[in-house]
């Protein structure tokens, strides 16, 4: 039996999320069907983290255990062959020791949120970005985002259905920048609460629209009160871009 770490990308639009469930197609289920076709037996695929319905990934990580004596390259190719036509791709596979765990061995997770800041409707990026028509002040958003850095009680940005034992999290990095008519928000932490990123983005957009000053982000964070959160951003623009592990 060999454990393989997988680097995965997917378009989240057809899925009800990462985690296997009965109410619709999921990324985990698609990968497990592909692995079962490869192995000839049921195979469990463990992801580094769960993404919600409509959320995308460019750098999701997962692991699975295979009995067949295959090279890492052949594992990736075989899984991709069985994944068709699902919009999921195994970019790379790597043999790992049995002690490796995609979720519990991770040291950091990285997300990017893409906002199309334009009046015209989206065509090619429909479902792949959040269109916000009013011009956003990215500098004010970036100033507001800095209030979120560090270790805090993130209850304000925690979904009511979040199952985490504690709302305390440490946000290691967050930044907002503009590239033409695109506003990108990037953030990194060892772990995030359920819908934390989308909740933070939605509040930062309130600042960008001029409805709130940058300091308001610090105020609602300190309140540790979910009712103080701004509107939650849609899943369309959210991407899991990478997961870090010890070298």
Per-residue model confidence as pLDDT tens digits over 212-244: 999 999 999 999 999 999 999 999 999 999 999
Q: Which residues contact 30 (CB under 8 A, 6 or more apart)?
A: 15, 83, 86, 88
Catalytic annotation present for 159: no
Average pLDDT over residues 39-67: 97
Q: What are the tokens at 206?
A: 């309130």
pLDDT of residue 31: 98
Q: Is 33:43 a contact under the CB 8 Å cutoff?
A: no
Let me know: does 225 contact 155? Beta carbons within 8 Å: yes
Q: Which part of the chain is CATH 3.30.70.580?
A: 2-96
The answer on pLDDT for 160 being more than 90 is no
Please state the rounded mean pLDDT for residues 116-125. Answer: 97
Q: Which two tokens stand for residue 110?
A: 């990285």
What b/e readout covers 131-145, taking b as 16+ CB neighbours within 10 angstroms? Answer: bbeeebbbebbbbbb
Domain with CATH 3.30.70.660 in the chain: 108-244
Pick the CATH number of 2-96 from 3.30.70.580, 3.40.50.970, 3.40.50.300, 3.40.50.740: 3.30.70.580
Average pLDDT over residues 79-101: 97
Averaged confidence pLDDT in the chain: 97
- What is the average pLDDT across 42-63? 97
Q: Which fold has domain 108-244?
A: Alpha-Beta Plaits (3.30.70)
* pLDDT number for residue 22: 87
pLDDT of residue 129: 98
More confidently predicted of 164 and 87: 87
Tell me which of 11, 52, 77, 159 is the catalytic residue.
52
């Amino acid at each position: 039996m060999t454990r393989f770490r997988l680097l995965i990308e997917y378009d989240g639009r057809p899925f009800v999320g990462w985690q296997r469930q009965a109410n619709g197609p999921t990324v985990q289920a698609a990968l497990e069907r592909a692995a079962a076709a490869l192995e000839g037996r049921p195979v469990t695929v463990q992801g580094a983290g769960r993404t919600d319905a409509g959320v995308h990934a460019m750098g999701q990580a997962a692991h699975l255990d295979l009995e067949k004596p295959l090279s890492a390259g052949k594992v990736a190719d075989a899984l991709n062959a069985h994944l068709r036509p699902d919009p999921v791709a195994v970019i790379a596979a790597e043999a790992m020791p049995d002690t490796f765990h995609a979720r519990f061995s991770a040291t950091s997770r990285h997300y990017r949120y893409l906002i199309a800041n334009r009046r015209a409707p989206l065509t090619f990026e429909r479902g792949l970005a959040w269109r916000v028509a009013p011009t956003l002040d990215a500098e004010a958003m970036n100033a507001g985002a800095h209030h979120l850095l560090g270790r805090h009680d993130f209850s304000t940005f925690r979904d009511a259905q979040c199952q985490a034992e504690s709302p305390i999290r440490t946000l290691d990095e967050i930044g907002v920048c503009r590239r033409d008519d695109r506003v990108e928000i990037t953030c990194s932490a060892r772990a995030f609460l359920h819908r934390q990123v989308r909740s933070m983005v939605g509040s930062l957009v309130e600042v960008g629209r001029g409805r709130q000053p940058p300091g308001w982000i610090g105020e609602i964070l300190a309140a540790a009160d979910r009712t103080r959160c701004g509107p939650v951003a849609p899943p369309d623009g959210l991407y899991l871009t990478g997961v870090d592990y010890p070298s």
